[in-house]
């Protein structure tokens, strides 16, 4: 289902919580290409640190501004009423000098804070990478290296933090010095005016009282640029996420995808990733009849997985179109497209939740009966049943409590619950041993039965029975046909098949 609409007013009113929710929604709405521009650790740092700093700074600034600025206006008005000449010295000289000094310090604070937050993002990335790659770190005795890397980044965070602290600390002495000079000058000038009879003692004492009362509000208001710039530094990073344009989205007149048969057609499709000069796909045309299983094979980096990404609208082609039953997928809603298409990848992702929750992911109304039926179809029910907590067993982070074959079968069960019309498989058995591959392949065959299926395969033995095979190399179709036709003909497919057969 679509995410709830933004409520900017409510977000700001809720402070940090509302801002974090908006950041999170923008992250999960963002295009895959946009998400790939930065590291996971940086997104986490912005979500946890920058958002909190920005919200807190904004709240404190608004509170102090309204509280002290109003007081300052009232007291300044009193001083002008008592003696406009003395008040002019205060307004024309003291206030601008204090605010200008704070602006200079604010720029230093902003730069140091931005650098410190950037380094905090690097530290978050380092921790994330180290934990994910801990087996490699330990296997190659990289503990000292990683500790050295962390020490370097932590010291840089400390360095920029101290720069910001020093800039903020300098604000009080500057304001106090200016206030001291101002009070001394006004007392001297006012005393002289009083001695000459131009100012009564009562007016003079009243003015001094108002001046002293204005000191604390002036100090707070003058310090606002310094405090605010720290929040601005955080805000720049926050709005890098919030202001990112979403390219893959529904058109205003997008309708629901209506699948009657399930045919898929690629019409002269070309595509290039934004950060690369070379095209990933060049004028690809593929016609998949309803209910057919079509396989894509070729060397690594040929563009096979890119085609699958285009079917699910993770990306949009640069030119050409993809049609399902004659409907251009860019003219239908993304939700209806993905609700009709099941995806099973080489490395299935499982959430740190129960097996049942992972199977039913995205299907809030799935019953326990439907979950178990899907698990049986995916050859997963038997191993789930012998677990101590059965379907309530937690999978662990990334599903690490389960074997590769078990994770893959749960991913297939997840696809079964969806009851898709289209099936997209991205090398689902390439990381499995022979026994696990056989079990998973049986489940995949059941999933693909009577459904239009597009399969990327590394092990050619798994797609021998495909209705049609397209051989892709360097972004173009170089061969197409059945397994028998392609294995007998001279070409890339025969070379790949022969190489795999000899390896076995």
Find the mean pLDDT for residues 18-35.
Answer: 85
Say if CB 355 and CB 384 are below 8 A apart: yes
CB within 8 A of 230, min separation 6: which ones? 53, 57, 109, 110, 113, 164, 168
Give the single-character DSSP code of 354. Answer: B
Q: Measured between alpha carbons, how far is 165 from 160 in angstroms, rounded to an integer?
A: 9
Q: Measured between alpha carbons, how far is 392 from 400 in angstroms, rounded to an integer?
A: 16
Together in a domain, 407 and 293 = yes
CB-CB neighbours of 89 under 10 Å = 16
Instruction: Report whether pLDDT(355) > 80.
Output: yes
The verdict on residue 1 lying in a domain is no
Domain total of the chain? 2
The verdict on residue 259 lying in a domain is no
Q: Measured between alpha carbons, how far is 226 from 238 in angstroms, rounded to an integer?
A: 19
Mark 32-46 as b/e (b = at least 16 C-beta within 10 Å): eebeeeebebbbbbb
CA trace torsion 112, 113, 114, 120 (10° rounding): 110
Find the mean pLDDT for residues 220-243.
Answer: 82
Instruction: Report whether pLDDT(8) > 90.
Output: no
Q: Give the CATH number, domain containing residue 35.
A: 1.20.1560.10
Least confident range from 139-153, 210-224, 484-498: namely 210-224
Q: Where are the alpha helices (DSSP H) in 243-270?
A: none
Q: Give the CATH number, domain containing residue 463.
A: 3.40.50.300
Say if CB 274 and CB 32 are below 8 A apart: no
Instruction: Report whether pLDDT(285) > 90.
Output: yes
The verdict on residue 145 lying in a domain is no
Say if CB 39 and CB 125 are below 8 A apart: yes
The verdict on residue 125 lying in a domain is no
- With pLDDT > 70 as the criterion, what percentage of the chain qualifies? 92
Confidence of residue 503 (pLDDT cuts 50, 70, 90): low
Together in a domain, 423 and 330 = yes
Which phi and psi (to 5°) does residue 324 adopt?
Answer: -120, 115
Cα–Cα distances in Å, from 418 out to 288, 341, 447? 21, 8, 11
User: Hey, what are 183's tokens?
Assistant: 């009070």
Least confident range from 41-45, 332-336, 410-414: namely 41-45
First to last CA, the chain: 46
Together in a domain, 238 and 270 = no
Say if CB 348 and CB 427 are below 8 A apart: no
User: Hey, what are 314's tokens?
Assistant: 């993770």
Say if CB 456 and CB 312 are below 8 A apart: no
The verdict on residue 140 lying in a domain is no
Strands 319-324 and 452-456: unpaired
Find the mean pLDDT for residues 413-431.
Answer: 88
Strands 327-328 and 341-344: unpaired
Higher pLDDT, 181 or 113: 113
Q: What is the pLDDT of residue 73?
A: 83
pLDDT in tens, 98-125: 666 667 777 788 888 888 888 888 888 8
The verdict on residue 483 lying in a domain is yes
- With pLDDT > 90 as the criterion, what percentage of the chain qualifies? 31
Instruction: Report whether pLDDT(325) > 90.
Output: yes
Using alpha carbons, select from 170, 97, 158 the residue that is nearest to residue 123: 158
Q: What is the pLDDT of residue 296?
A: 94
- Where a domain ends, among 242, 274, 308? 242
The verdict on residue 210 lying in a domain is yes
Together in a domain, 204 and 341 = no
Q: Side by side, which strands form the sheet with 264-271?
A: 281-288, 264-271, 319-324, 327-328
Domain that holds residue 358: 264-503
- Where a domain ends, among 180, 207, 242? 242
Find the mean pLDDT for residues 373-396.
Answer: 91
Together in a domain, 416 and 362 = yes
Q: Measured between alpha carbons, how far is 251 from 271 in angstroms, rounded to an integer?
A: 20
Q: Which helix (H) or strand (E) holds 34?
A: helix 32-35
Together in a domain, 343 and 222 = no
Q: What is the pLDDT of residue 257?
A: 93
- Where a domain ends, among 195, 210, 242? 242
Per DSSP, the chain holds a count of helices (H) and strands (E) of: 20, 10
Together in a domain, 368 and 473 = yes
Confidence of residue 232 (pLDDT cuts 50, 70, 90): confident
DSSP string for residues in 449-463? TTSEEEEE-SSGGGG
Instruction: Report whether pLDDT(175) > 80.
Output: no
Q: What is the pLDDT of residue 212?
A: 79
User: Hey, what are 169's tokens?
Assistant: 């600390």
The verdict on residue 404 lying in a domain is yes
Together in a domain, 281 and 351 = yes
Together in a domain, 281 and 320 = yes
CB within 8 A of 172, min separation 6: which ones? 219, 223
DSSP, collapsed to helix, strand or coil, labels residue 352 as: coil
Together in a domain, 85 and 183 = yes
Q: Which of 95-109, 119-133, 348-362 has the highest mean pLDDT?
A: 348-362
Using alpha carbons, select from 229, 200, 217 the residue that is nearest to residue 94: 217
DSSP, collapsed to helix, strand or coil, labels residue 358 as: helix
Confidence of residue 504 (pLDDT cuts 50, 70, 90): low
Q: Measured between alpha carbons, how far is 345 from 349 in angstroms, rounded to an integer?
A: 8
Together in a domain, 88 and 34 = yes
Together in a domain, 200 and 346 = no
């Amino acid at each position: 289902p679509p995410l709830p609409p933004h409520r900017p007013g409510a977000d700001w009113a809720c402070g940090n919580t509302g801002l974090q929710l908006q950041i999170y929604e923008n992250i999960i709405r963002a295009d895959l290409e946009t998400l790939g521009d930065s590291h996971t650790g940086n997104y986490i740092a912005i979500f946890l640190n920058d958002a909190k700093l920005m919200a807190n700074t904004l709240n404190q600034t608004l509170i102090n501004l309204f509280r002290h600025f109003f007081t300052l206006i009232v007291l300044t008005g009193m001083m002008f009423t008592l003696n406009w000449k003395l008040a002019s010295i205060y307004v024309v000289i003291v206030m601008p000098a204090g605010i200008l000094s704070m602006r200079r310090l604010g720029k230093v604070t902003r730069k140091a804070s931005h650098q410190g937050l950037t380094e905090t993002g690097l530290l978050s990335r380092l921790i994330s990478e180290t934990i994910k790659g801990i087996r490699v770190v330990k296997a190659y005795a990289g503990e000292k290296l990683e500790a050295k890397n962390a020490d370097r980044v932590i010291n840089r965070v400390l360095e920029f933090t101290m720069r910001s602290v020093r800039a903020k600390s300098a604000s009080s002495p500057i304001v106090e010095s200016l206030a001291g000079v101002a009070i001394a000058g006004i007392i001297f000038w006012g005393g002289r005016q009083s001695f000459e009879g131009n100012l009564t003692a009562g007016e003079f004492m009243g003015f001094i009282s108002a001046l002293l009362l204005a000191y604390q509000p002036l100090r707070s208001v003058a310090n606002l640029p310094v405090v605010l710039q720290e929040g601005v530094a955080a805000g720049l990073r926050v709005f890098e996420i919030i202001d990112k344009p979403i390219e893959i989205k529904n058109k205003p007149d997008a309708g629901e995808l209506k699948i009657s048969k399930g045919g898929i057609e690629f019409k002269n499709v070309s595509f290039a990733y934004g950060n690369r000069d070379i095209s990933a796909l060049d004028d690809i045309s593929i016609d998949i009849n309803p209910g057919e299983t079509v396989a894509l094979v070729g060397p690594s980096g040929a563009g096979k997985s890119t085609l699958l990404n285009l079917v699910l609208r993770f990306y949009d082609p640069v030119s050409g179109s993809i049609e399902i039953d004659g409907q251009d997928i860019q003219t239908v809603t993304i939700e209806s497209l993905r609700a009709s298409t099941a995806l099973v990848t080489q490395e299935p992702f499982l959430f740190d939740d129960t097996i049942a929750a992972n199977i039913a992911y995205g299907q809030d109304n799935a019953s326990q009966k439907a979950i178990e039926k899907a698990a049986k179809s995916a050859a997963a029910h038997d191993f789930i049943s012998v677990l101590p907590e059965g379907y309530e067993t937690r999978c662990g982070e990334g599903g690490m409590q389960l074997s590769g074959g078990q994770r893959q079968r749960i991913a297939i069960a997840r696809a079964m619950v969806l009851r898709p019309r289209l099936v997209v498989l991205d090398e689902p058995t390439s990381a499995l041993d022979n026994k696990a591959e056989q079990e998973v392949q049986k489940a995949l065959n059941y999933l693909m039965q009577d459904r239009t299926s597009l399969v990327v395969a590394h092990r050619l033995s798994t797609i021998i029975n495909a209705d049609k095979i397209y051989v892709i190399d360097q972004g173009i179709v170089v061969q197409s046909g059945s397994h028998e036709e392609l294995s007998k003909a001279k070409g890339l497919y025969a070379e790949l098949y022969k190489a795999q057969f000899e390896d076995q």
